[in-house]
Structure 1
Amino acid sequence: MVIPSLLGPTAERVPDVERIAVLRANALGDFIFVLPALDALRAAYPSAEIVLLGAPWHAKLWRDRPGPVDRVLVVPPAPGIRQPESGEPQSAMEDFLAAARKERFDLALQLHGGGANSNPVVGGLGARITAGLRTEEAPPLDRWIRYVYYQHEVIRYLEVAALVGAPATTIVPALAVTDADRAEAAEVLGPPERPRVALHPGATDTRRRWPAERFAEVARELAGDGYEVLVTGTPAEQEVVDRVVAAAGVPVRPQVGTLSLGGLAACYAGCDLVVSNDTGPLHLAAAVGTATVGIYWVGNLINTGNPLRGRHRPISSWAVHCPVCGVDCTPGIYPHRPGDGECPHRDSFVTDVPVVEVLESARELLHPQPGAPEPPGAGARSSAG
């Protein structure tokens, strides 16, 4: 029997569920996209323990944080699962699965990807029922839907949750900011002397990076509008942050590795706006209730662009060919249109996004028209702890 719901048919709830495992061990933005699915599981199974199979950073982020995750089990690094973190001790997947089977999971969900590498891990947990995604070459689970590349990530994982009787309660990811997060951000940043905005010019995939000089122009304009401008980045993004700071020509405040992930969440929650490439910090800012201007490659916009326009402006580049070799870099998902999907170059695909469009969107969000409703988000910014 299926039950009608917000996003389509939902299976009946599974009886006697005490413990649910969810595999999602990849990067920050990827994790933000599964939050609505986790919320759906929590609503459907309020007394069950939800255990995230993630990375060490998930365990740190979720420690003492209210939300749908009760506990994190760190899954070992493995091909297609996750990369090892710096200084992390080695451990075997077989040992992890043997220990995990003792947890006696009732449900195990693969919210990780196409399933070629992740479905064997989920299947090895020994759960009563497994569910998830599957490409043609991936082993099946008890309940599964086909992985189709072009689908919004939030909806993709909500469809998996529906397979085990958990209908969507929201399509908007939300992450609580705790008092500890705010205390850390206040200690590092101090009290704001002017309204703050943050720019994030980095991205792990350099093809998603808008030129640093254009971020610098945005920084210069917003500083001239009276805002305190923060430029955030990871230690690996130090060089691009330095380029923005040097080219801005006005005082801006670089923040590279000064904040934990929770502290960064509080930093963004205290900003009026975040302007960023399509990368984890952009989606983190939206999840804590802050307005965003995101710079996207068109393919990524389809899969990850925020669907709301009261608080968010995704701006797209429409380039699909590598600027160096001309290869069509859209993923080949159908035989009649194979595409190439990849080439060896990593030059930016978003250089055609104009500064004027970013600035117009930023100023529209910072100064809404008279009569526009007050933006939501106060709940997302509050602490439940």
Structure 2
Amino acid sequence: MGRLSQGAVPRRVCILRLSALGDCANVVPAIRTLQAARPDIQITWIINKAEAGLVADIPGVECLVYDKRGGRAAIADLKRQLAGRRFDALLDMHASWRANRISLLVKADRRIGFDARRARDGQRLFVRERISAVESRHVVDGFLAFADMLGASDPVMDWRVPIADADRARAAELLGDESREILFISPCSSHTRRNWLADRYAAAADHAVRAHGLRAVLVGGPSDLERRMGADIEAAMSSAATNLIGQTNLKQLLALFEHGRVLVTPDSGPAHMANATDITTISLHAATDPRRSGAYRSRAFCVDYFAEAAARYRNATPDKLKWGTRIEDDAGVMGLIPVEAVTDRIDQAMAGARA
């Protein structure tokens, strides 16, 4: 089917994207694009419980929350919420067997899925249309192609989500009255083999403090792994760091980033959340391809050792690998990234180049 004109953007649209945090953050520009093309559009988003904490209060968006830990009861609850409803279009932005099952609960006149490069887990059997092939490898451009399929062809590159005054106040309280510019380090991804090494984070932080007078602040979730990583980074640093790991929710973390100059992080949710702020994000890639999942607004600052990982672990070049390939064989993958590659990026950011 050919692309519709902008005037034909449908009113009732259902988005299916359950997870992960970074991917859900990267759906937001597609939502902004649809809303700009049709201000009275009604968007319903089926999303996991954890990720809803970031986006559930976007104006004009209704989130139907699915708790993946709820088993059959969670499916039954979602079925009740969707009963008697019909949408003009389903944008199936999640290619997985679980999402396939959930998509069957959605009644829609048009059912749109990924192009052949991005689709997997049999998604093509659950949709009737597919987005056009997108030259860019990046997930953001893939999501924007869904909006384009509905006639919204002028991208709105806006990742912002509402942040309550109380969350901003909490961020300011945690940071205190310190006046130095801030280097944030969010050291962990949900995929542990995407994480860089604690002693290297420490060396990069020490460089930022010594060379640029930055304040090093560690952030992250409350898991034992993240807390251990934070403690290990602190122990390896020769300068002092402020450790806020486990002390913020998602909105408070975003509010912290509003105060920052530079963020260093692996391919992780915070790397993509930070697109909503003016911070320069240095995302670290050896396990994943930054052309697909680099921090979009800071792509020029990505540290890219994916080609080295592809050569060592797959005997291939990145272009020979299937789109979306992850090289998470062992901890040595991220060890391919030297400290100097990250400190060089910090120097570039501090020299005045912005994301």
TM-score by length of 2: 0.84
Report the Cα offset of residue 62 of structure 1: 3.3
Query: CA, structure 1 residues 342+56, in 2 after alignment: closer, same or farther (shift >3 Å)?
Result: closer
**Pairing 1:179-328 to 2, within 5 Å after superposition:** 179-224=165-210, 225-236=212-223, 237-297=226-286, 299-306=288-295, 308=297, 312-317=300-305, 318-320=307-309, 326=313
Residue 59 (structure 1) aligned with residue 52 (structure 2)? yes
Contact 2:91 2:113 in 1 (8 A): yes
Report the Cα offset of residue 124 of structure 1: 2.5
Partner of 2:257, secondary structure, is: helix
Query: CA, structure 1 residues 329+148, in 2 after alignment: closer, same or farther (shift >3 Å)?
Result: farther
Inter-partner Cα distance in structure 1 for 2:346 and 2:9? 49
Query: CA, structure 1 residues 338+255, in 2 after alignment: closer, same or farther (shift >3 Å)?
Result: closer
Partner of 1:294, secondary structure, is: strand
Report the Cα offset of residue 293 of structure 1: 1.2
Could you say what the CA RMSD is over the residues aligned between the two structures, in angstroms? 3.3
Inter-partner Cα distance in structure 2 for 1:56 and 1:338? 30
Residue 145 (structure 1) aligned with residue 131 (structure 2)? yes
Partner of 2:284, secondary structure, is: strand
Partner of 1:253, secondary structure, is: strand
Identity of aligned residues (%): 25
Quick one: which amino acid aligns to residue 74 of structure 1? V
Q: Deviations over 1:165-190 (max 9, x none)?
A: 22242356444544333112112222
Q: Deviations over 1:54-84 (max 9, x none)?
A: 1223333335x4x46522111242xxxxxx3
Inter-partner Cα distance in structure 2 for 1:60 and 1:125? 23
Inter-partner Cα distance in structure 1 for 2:178 and 2:203? 22
Partner of 1:128, secondary structure, is: strand
Residue 50 (structure 1) aligned with residue 34 (structure 2)? no
Contact 2:263 2:280 in 1 (8 A): yes
Partner of 2:87: 105
Partner of 2:336, secondary structure, is: coil
Query: CA, structure 1 residues 69+356, in 2 after alignment: closer, same or farther (shift >3 Å)?
Result: farther
Quick one: which amino acid aligns to residue 137 of structure 1? G
Contact 2:46 2:66 in 1 (8 A): yes
Contact 1:58 1:72 in 2 (8 A): no
Quick one: which amino acid aligns to residue 352 of structure 1? L
Q: Deviations over 1:252-277 (max 9, x none)?
A: 01111101100000101101111111
Inter-partner Cα distance in structure 1 for 2:113 and 2:127? 7
Contact 2:8 2:151 in 1 (8 A): no
Report the Cα offset of residue 338 of structure 1: 8.1
**Pairing 1:34-49 to 2, within 5 Å after superposition:** 34-49=27-42
Report the Cα offset of residue 243 of structure 1: 0.7
From the two aligned structures, give the one with the greater helix fraction.
2
Partner of 1:380: none
Query: CA, structure 1 residues 232+262, in 2 after alignment: closer, same or farther (shift >3 Å)?
Result: same
Partner of 1:132: 113
Query: CA, structure 1 residues 212+158, in 2 after alignment: closer, same or farther (shift >3 Å)?
Result: same
Residue 70 (structure 1) aligned with residue 61 (structure 2)? yes
Report the Cα offset of residue 342 of structure 1: 7.6
Query: CA, structure 1 residues 344+201, in 2 after alignment: closer, same or farther (shift >3 Å)?
Result: closer
Partner of 2:227, secondary structure, is: helix
Query: CA, structure 1 residues 37+95, in 2 after alignment: closer, same or farther (shift >3 Å)?
Result: same
Quick one: which amino acid aligns to residue 303 of structure 2? I
Inter-partner Cα distance in structure 1 for 2:316 and 2:330? 11
Partner of 2:346: 362
Query: CA, structure 1 residues 40+338, in 2 after alignment: closer, same or farther (shift >3 Å)?
Result: closer
Query: CA, structure 1 residues 343+270, in 2 after alignment: closer, same or farther (shift >3 Å)?
Result: closer
Q: Deviations over 1:140-168 (max 9, x none)?
A: 41322378998210111111222222224
Picking from 102, 106, 118, the partner of 2:99 is: 118
Query: CA, structure 1 residues 163+55, in 2 after alignment: closer, same or farther (shift >3 Å)?
Result: same
Equivalent residue pairs, number:
345
Picking from 14, 35, 40, the partner of 1:21 is: 14
Q: Deviations over 1:336-362 (max 9, x none)?
A: x789x6899432412222212211211
